[in-house]
Structure 1
Amino acid sequence: MLELLRRNNVVAGVLAVIRIYLGYSWITGGWGKITGGGFDASGFLNGAIAQSTGENPAVQGWWATFLENVALPNAGLFSFLVMWGEVLVGMALILGLFTNFAVLMGMTMNFAFLFSGTVSTNGQMILLGIFVLVAGANAGKFGLDRYAMPYLKVQYKKITHKETTKKTVEA
């Protein structure tokens, strides 16, 4: 099964559709926040903190402590990171550029939203993201990763070869 996910061209096409769907979901969410007249995460953060009390809290205490002591005092920074993070993850997934990193960052945001007590499409996006992540390079085969990753590998080899040669000469 893993081999099928990582090597098959038909699966690569299906993964491209999933990747583009996820990218579209992220980019539209982020763009709406950017163009919507000033997104402020503090209301969301306060709501999540409020859900951490009571008989059956939707938000765990450790996460509420993080939100209250780190995120809420820096709500402006977190608002910026969410807006632009969503747009950049969306763009990368649509283009198929740095696909694995983009889907990992998207899943990180999905988990943060889930930890904060929202369900929405986060679970679905995480599930689809797992397929993209496990598929590795095959998920970006029909995207810019097809060109960017071989180029970066060559550049990395050049850099590491220079360092190896330099160490050999110095010894």
Structure 2
Amino acid sequence: MFVNWLRENQLSSGLLTIIRLYLGYSWLKAGYIKVAGGFDASGYLQGAIAKATGENPTVQGWWASFLEGFALPNAGLFSFLVAWGELLVGLGLFLGCLTTAAAFFGIIMNFAFIFSGTISTNPQMILLTIFILVAGYNAGKIGIDRFIIPYIKLKTKRKDNTAEIS
């Protein structure tokens, strides 16, 4: 019942727009600061690896191994991906453009930050993003998705019909 309300109700669409704008602004601001300021993730990655030791580690050993063996040697790539990922997720959510894709990639980044021992606003952002993901198209209905999603569906349907004829 609640899922249907999230996916189909106009009031829900309005509330989701407010949540989407908040999340979009948060991601957009964080990404812009990183892109404009020249973000370097290596210090963050080293800090996360250090949190995997001690009596009460906040970072799991498997995640620290990934960070140490793959992320840290490729810190330049990760710096680029985080900065531009945050900016693009923010833009997608703020404009309501490919909203569910933006929300999906945003929640992945939030979980990566939590795995790295950073709490901050990440749990709150994850919770709010879950509502957007469950709502699907209705979360971006008051946005660019109102025009993009029907176009994508039309193109996909035409491709399916062309494949059946061949």
For Structure 1 versus Structure 2, the TM-score category normalised by the shorter chain is over 0.9
Match of 1:17?
18
- Whole-Å Cα distance in 2 between the matches of residues 162 and 29 of structure 1? 44
Partner of 2:49: 49
| Long gaps (5+) in structure 1 | 167-171
What displacement does 1:163 show? 1.6
Find the counterpart in structure 1 of residue 28 from structure 2: 27
Question: Gapped runs of 5+ residues in structure 2?
Answer: none
Q: Distance in 1 between matches of 2:160 and 2:69?
A: 42
Give the counterpart letter for 1:25 in structure 2.
S
Aligned to 1:159: 159
SS of structure 2 residue aligned to 1:73: coil
Q: 1:40 matched to which residue of 2?
A: 40
Q: Summarize the alignment of residues 75-154 of structure 1 with structure 2, pairs less than 5 Å apart.
A: 75-154=75-154
User: How far 1:79 sits from its partner (Å)?
Assistant: 0.2
Q: Distance in 1 between matches of 2:3 and 2:118?
A: 31
Q: Quote the offset at 1:140 in angstroms.
A: 0.7
* Higher CA-based Rg: 1
TM-score by length of 2: 0.98
Query: What does residue 69 of structure 2 align with?
Result: 69
Which segments of structure 1 move beyond 3 Å, counting only runs of 4 or more?
none
Secondary structure of 1:57's partner? coil
Distance 2:149 2:35 in 1: 30
Residue 136 of structure 1: CA displacement?
1.1
Q: What is the SS of the residue equivalent to 2:25?
A: helix
